[in-house]
Amino acid sequence: FCLHIFPFPLALWFKLQVLEYVALLKLRLMADFLCRPAGPPDKLPQPTKPLPTAAPPRSHPPSDPRKPDRQTRPPRLPTGDRPSHPNAKPNICDGGYNTLAILRREMFVFKDHWFWRVRDNSVMPGYPMLISVFWRGLPPKIDAVYENSDGKFVFFKGKQFWVFKDTVLQAGYPKDIAQFGHGMPAQSIETAVWWEDVAKTYFFKGDRYWRYNEEMRTMDPGYPKPVTVWRGVPDSPQGAFVDKANGFTYFYKGKEYWKFNNQFLRVDPGYPRSILKDFMGCDLTPVDPARPPAAADGSDVVIELDNEANAVKAVAIVIPCVLALCLLVLVYTVVQFKRKGTPRHILYCKRSMQEWV
């Protein structure tokens, strides 16, 4: 209504307000990410109910025994499968991630066109965000990502890979995966993880894994090897990250994760566990959709929704409309006075006041 009455100034003002809000939001999110130190974290977010752990003096990657080698936010309920359309924001508690990794000491979770930043077992405000907004030039549905020894982010999808310095795509990328290093899997990879202790990067695909030398930019001799060397780790893991402080490597697949002990070279007992519950803070308790929410004492439960963005948009629309309506009333009153003259009761009031004064 308001845009039809004052199409040019009001529409221009409204667009400027929206653009300013979006620009400030993007700047705040990116600045928070870019200001974090590079490199692997000394301490990672632990599951909501961590198990007792033993910290070894130094972690070493598993080797083939035949050939020894020298690395609370309120819970959200799952809502089932959702469409992968880029405009439909996914729920992190639905699972089905393409991959996840630790970048700049934080957990990044990727799904289709979107990604989340997870800190302290909860999603940070403002997420999920479109991948194309944060990393321009990066396609959706990536296969794997890791932060290399230079602090750069290496993304893989199909037969190509991309290298970013912070959020800037490096010149000449994407490149064919065959150019990454001699011996690299020709078609694609499923997981990449860098072990700082041995300065090696491990790539996983199917039931095999490769060890990559970051300095020589080539695969080490004798690879690939069977994933069974990592006792208890499933075939085709979808993501992995290292907890250097406690001496563990976590592998993700589906909606579960495995906790691999770097000292004993095997998965700890009691795994796999739910990554949605332990790392994303999701409540997986089954809920009857036909039953309204109620507390244990029978009182009503008030569910607060995060509508800050909607509130800002509503205010940006309502205030101009109210001002426009007031202006219309004023213009209408002036026009009526000019056409019909001053109303009698106003004239009478004016004469009465003159006599009193």
Query: Residue 76, Cβ neighbours under 10 Å: how many?
Result: 17
pLDDT at 286: 74
User: What are residue 262's phi and psi, to 5 degrees?
Assistant: -70, -20
Please compute, for residue 226, the number of CA atoms within 13 A of its CA located in the half-sphere on the CB side.
Answer: 8
CB count, 10 Å around CB of 102? Answer: 23
Residues of the chain with pLDDT under 50: 1-4, 27, 31, 34-36, 38-43, 48-58, 65-84, 296, 305, 349-357
Distance CA 37, CA 147 (A): 12
SS3 track for the chain: CHHHHCHHHHHHHHHHHHHHHHHHHHHHHHHHHHCCCCCCCCCCCCCCCCCCCCCCCCCCCCCECCECCCCCCCCCCCCCCCCCCCCCCCCHHHCCCCEEEEECCEEEEEECCEEEEEECCEECCCCCEEHHHHCCCCCCCCCEEEECCCCCEEEEECCEEEEEECCEECCCCCEEHHHCCECCCCCCCCEEEEECCCCEEEEEECCEEEEEECCCCEECCCCCEEHHHCECCCCCCCEEEEECCCCEEEEEECCEEEEEECCCCEECCCCCEEHHHHCCCCCCCCCCCCCCCECCCCCECCCCCCCHHHHHHHHHHHHHHHHHHHHHHHHHHHHHHHHHCCCHHHHHHHHHHHHHC
What type of residue is 319?
I
Give the whole-angstrom CA distance, residue 234 versus residue 32. 35
pLDDT of residue 208: 97
**What would the two tokens of residue 137 be?**
């030039």
pLDDT for 11 equals 57
- Parallel/antiparallel/unpaired status of strands 114-119 and 122-123: antiparallel
In terms of DSSP bridges, do strands 218-219 and 208-213 run parallel, antiparallel, or are they unpaired? antiparallel
Q: Are 200 and 213 in contact (CB under 8 A)?
A: yes
Residue 67: what pLDDT?
A: 44
pTM for this model (two decimals): 0.64
Residue 58 exposure: Cα atoms within 13 Å on the Cβ side: 5
Q: Is-contact 210 202, C-beta < 8 A?
A: yes
One-letter amino acid at 340 equals K
Q: Which CATH architecture has domain 37-278?
A: 4 Propeller (2.110)
